[in-house]
């Protein structure tokens, strides 16, 4: 039995949401997520959520591009904020060097990951449920904080001072998160969409948490390749492209080559020691394993974490 309009309005008043004269719009079938708007209510097997906004994409110049299938919402029973990830059919291709990789959204796969990592603070937490049509919806605990790139950009230090003071601690937390990916791989799963904006830094606890597991890849190798993008962001204090490097240090013109480039994003420089000679050599060696000039890459997450442990040991000596 669905809750009455009067019950919903009473709960809205209780959590401090203004109530208008019209009865609330309630959705039990989320198939047409484009029609679910702010102040509508989503009913998931008796759990009611008040939609506050669509979440937005902040990548590839798509700042503030709404993701209509991802809603920020308040649970009417508790007043707590959650993210509702509604079912969507989507696939697209990306390239790692000359290798084409097909990415497919898979709600069931994300539900399996949520179950596997329950209680692990290195991952977002949540649960899965179904709407009246049988669509799989993931109810995610809201994390108050910034993504990794935004957090690093907020550090008002010159790069050399950042390397000497902040980098070791940040790198240690990132290394722990990278190690956590082994839990997924050992279970035959993967993250599938490793990006700097898919690591959130919790404002209250300071923990680093992986988010968004709904992309499915044919193997865990995509995770391994993608980790290099996170490490580049951390070591470079953001991103450093060939254009950035030449503008900062004109003397580098002619000294940079494709071998120095990221195999994932060829306009970014992995051989950061050419820009920052004070960057720890061990860390730069790890970065070079993700470059076009690498003689050997990484096959497993454990290889990366072992090398990062050597970086930490070298920094402490």
Digit-by-digit pLDDT tens for the chain (317 residues) are: 467 888 888 888 888 888 877 888 999 999 999 999 999 999 999 999 999 999 987 544 445 678 899 999 999 999 999 999 999 888 878 777 677 888 889 999 999 999 999 999 999 999 999 999 999 999 999 999 999 999 999 999 999 999 999 999 999 999 999 999 999 999 999 999 999 999 999 999 999 999 999 999 888 999 999 999 999 999 999 999 999 999 999 999 999 999 999 999 999 999 999 999 999 999 999 999 999 999 999 999 999 999 999 988 876 66
Q: Would the CA dihedral through 195, 213, 151, 65 be positive or negative?
A: positive
Q: CA 47 to CA 49: how far, in whole Å? A: 7
- Which top CATH class is 145-316? mainly alpha
Q: Which fold has domain 5-86?
A: SH3 type barrels. (2.30.30)
Q: The whole model's pTM is what?
A: 0.91
The domain ranges of the chain are: 5-86, 145-316
Closest CA to 85 of 218, 223, 213: 213
Residue 235 has, within 13 A of its CA and on its CB side, a CA count of: 31
């Amino acid at each position: 039995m669905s809750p009455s309009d009067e019950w919903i309005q009473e709960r809205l008043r209780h959590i401090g949401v203004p109530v208008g004269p019209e009865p609330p719009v309630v959705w039990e079938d989320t198939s047409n997520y484009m029609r679910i708007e702010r102040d509508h209510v989503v009913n998931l097997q008796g759990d009611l959520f008040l939609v506050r906004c669509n979440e937005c994409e902040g990548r590839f110049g798509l700042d503030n591009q709404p993701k209509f299938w991802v809603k920020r919402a308040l649970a009417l029973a508790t007043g707590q904020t959650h993210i509702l990830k509604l079912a969507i059919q989507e696939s697209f291709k990306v390239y790692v060097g000359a290798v084409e990789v097909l990415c497919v959204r898979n709600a069931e796969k994300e539900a399996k990951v949520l179950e596997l990592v329950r209680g692990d603070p290195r991952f977002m937490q949540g649960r899965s449920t179904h709407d009246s049509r049988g669509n799989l919806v993931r109810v995610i605990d809201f994390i108050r904080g910034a993504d990794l790139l935004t957090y690093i950009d907020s550090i008002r230090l010159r790069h050399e001072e950042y390397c000497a003071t902040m980098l070791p601690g940040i790198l240690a937390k990132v290394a722990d998160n990278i190690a956590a990916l082994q839990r997924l791989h050992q279970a035959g799963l993967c993250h599938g969409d490793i990006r700097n904006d898919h690591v959130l830094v919790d404002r209250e606890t300071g923990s680093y948490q992986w988010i968004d597991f709904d992309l499915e890849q044919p193997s865990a190798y995509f995770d391994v390749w993608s980790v290099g993008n996170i490490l580049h962001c951390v070591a470079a204090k953001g991103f450093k492209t060939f254009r950035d490097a030449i503008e900062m240090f004109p003397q580098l013109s002619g000294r940079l080559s494709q071998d120095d480039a990221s195999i994932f994003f060829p306009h970014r420089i992995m051989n950061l020691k050419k820009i920052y000679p004070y960057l720890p050599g061990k860390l730069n060696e790890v970065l070079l394993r993700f470059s076009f000039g690498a003689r050997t890459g990484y096959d497993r997450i454990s290889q990366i974490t072992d090398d990062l442990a050597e970086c930490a040991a070298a920094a402490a000596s």
